[in-house]
């Protein structure tokens, strides 16, 4: 088979939620759009990026899961999240943006379930 026959349309991760309702509010507040929500699975979209949030929680999975969100301006994202007081509203942590040796600026945002999001831009 050639690559046109095996074309991939999309890949999405299923993210666990310790508190499903709180996590849905968190993701909407940081900018994702909830496109559907039924049977314990909510579909979130932002631009061309998406994931599925599930009403399921496993501590070891959640605290060892890392997502990478590549954006055009990591500093603008950090400012937006800080201005919205996301850390205070949801009792989560946000690190400051840093320039990394792998030619990116990124920062870490932990969601209410402990999932790490590395929000980064290429430099």
Read off the tokens for 30: 């940081």
Of 67, 66, 33, 69, nearest to 78 by C-alpha is: 69
Phi, psi of 26, deg, nearest 5 = -60, -50
Q: Model's pTM, two decimal places?
A: 0.93
* In the chain, where the domains are located: 14-122
53 vs 38, 88, 103, 110, 115, CA distance in Å?
A: 11, 22, 30, 15, 12
pLDDT tens-place string over residues 63-119 = 999 999 999 999 999 999 999 999 999 999 999 999 999 999 999 999 999 999 999
Would you say domain 14-122 falls under CATH 3.10.180.10?
Answer: yes
Give the pLDDT confidence of 96-108 residue by residue, as tens digits: 999 999 999 999 9
Q: What is the pLDDT of residue 97?
A: 98
Residue 9: is its pLDDT beyond 90? Answer: no
DSSP helix/strand/coil, 117: strand
């Amino acid at each position: 088979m050639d690559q046109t026959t095996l074309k991939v349309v999309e890949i999405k991760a299923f993210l666990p939620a310790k508190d499903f309702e709180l996590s849905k509010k968190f993701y909407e507040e940081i900018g994702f759009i909830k496109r559907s929500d039924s049977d314990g699975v909510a579909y979130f979209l932002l631009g061309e990026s998406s994931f599925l949030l599930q009403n399921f929680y496993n501590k070891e999975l959640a605290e060892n899961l890392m997502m990478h969100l590549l954006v055009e301006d990591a500093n603008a994202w950090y400012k937006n999240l800080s201005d919205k007081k996301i850390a205070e509203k949801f009792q989560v942590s946000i690190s400051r943006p840093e320039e990394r040796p792998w030619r990116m600026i990124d920062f870490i945002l932990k969601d209410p379930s402990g999932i790490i999001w590395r929000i980064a831009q290429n430099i």
